[in-house]
Amino acid sequence: MDKAYLGLGTNIGEREKNLRAAVAHIKKTTDVEVTEVSSIYETEPWGYEEQNQFLNLCLKIKTDLKPQELLEKCQQIEKRMGRKREEKWGPRIIDIDILIYDNLEVNTSKLVIPHPRIQERAFVLVPLQELDSNLMIKGKSIAQWLEQVSTSGIINYSSY
């Protein structure tokens, strides 16, 4: 099985319930095993700032799905939970991103791995560091990337 990391976020409705429901859906997905779940973090919006605070977490998974198949499963879960893709970086009931998939680099019109802005997003780096402090991203450690971004506004909301 391949190792991958997913990032989940929500800022609409009952945010913690949304995250827990998404994790439950992922756990039920054939050929996916959730091996670790980070704490839940409350974070400021990124990109479009005139919206509610987000709750975010990261998952470490093992999977037999190919990256494109995993993306399709994640998008099916988003759709099942009521996700509407109306505004880039806008409010969302759930967002599930493939952050890293083993050591693969993928660059298609629908999927880029590692996630193209992973190193800019403290709301992803902080929970990823909790899961694997030795993880290398684009040739640098998570600690090195965290030195380059602000972590103010990222609050440990609760353990999973």
Its domain, for residue 115, covers 2-158
CA distance 35 to 155: 23
* Domain harbouring 108, CATH code: 3.30.70.560
| Distances from the Cα of 83 to the Cα of 8, 47, 80, angstroms | 13, 18, 7
Mean pLDDT along residues 22-37? 98
Q: Verify whether residue 132 is a known catalytic residue.
A: no
Token representation of residue 130: 């909790």
Q: Verify whether residue 97 is a known catalytic residue.
A: yes
Per the DSSP assignment, residues forming a β-bridge with 46 are: none
pTM (predicted TM-score): 0.92
Q: Residue 139 contacts by C-beta under 8 Å, 6 or more apart in sequence?
A: none
64, 80, 97, 121: which one is catalytic? 97
Q: What is the pLDDT of residues 46-95, one digit of tens each?
A: 666 666 889 999 999 999 999 999 999 999 999 999 877 666 656 788 99
83, 102, 117, 121: which one is catalytic? 83
Q: What is the pLDDT of residues 98-116, one digit of tens each?
A: 999 998 999 998 999 999 8
- What are the helix (H) ranges across the chain? 15-27, 67-80, 122-131, 142-146
CA distance 40 to 57: 5
2, 95, 102, 121: which one is catalytic? 95
Total domain count for the chain? 1
